[in-house]
Amino acid sequence: MKFMLLIHGNEQAMMAATPVNQAGMNPEYAAYNEALVKAGALLEGERLRPTSSAASVRIRDGKTEVFDGPYAETKEQLGGYYVIEAADMDAAMEWATRCPAAQWGTIEVRPIWPTRD
């Protein structure tokens, strides 16, 4: 079963952190990524650029509205994600607890609807 791990955290703190290597990854993330790969669980994952580079679009009453950045003001911002393969929600939650960002932010775990042919 596929799950998405959505990494939410304080964007200002994330942007202020000093990258550890040229890829901008600290040892905890490097180890976490390696564990996901070794377990055959990692399907994909990426860091997201800051919310200042984002835009939000919505249509209300047939009128398109475009907003700079995210539409909702929040204490935590979406900073990245992983798409993983796990046997069930409990296994996906276990991977979420191992994500380094869980120490300072929130990892939202969402099952992905299967693709229909």
Residue 74 belongs to domain with CATH number = 3.30.70.1060
The total number of structural domains in the chain stands at 1
Given pLDDT bands bounded at 50, 70 and 90, which one contains residue 10?
A: confident
User: What is the distance between the terminal CA atoms of the chain, rounded to a whole angstrom?
Assistant: 16
Residue 116 lies in a domain: no
Residue 16 lies in a domain: yes
Q: What letter does residue 69 receive in the DSSP assignment?
A: S
pTM of the model: 0.84
Residue 43 lies in a domain: yes
Identify the domain containing residue 103 by its residue range. Answer: 2-111
Residue 9 lies in a domain: yes
DSSP letter for each residue of 1-56 = -EEEEEEEE-HHHHHHSPPSSTTS--HHHHHHHHHHHHTT-EEEEEE---GGG-EE
Q: What contacts 20, CB < 8 A, 6 or more positions away?
A: 26, 27
The string of pLDDT tens digits covering residues 33-85 is 999 999 999 999 998 988 888 888 989 999 999 988 766 667 888 999 999 99
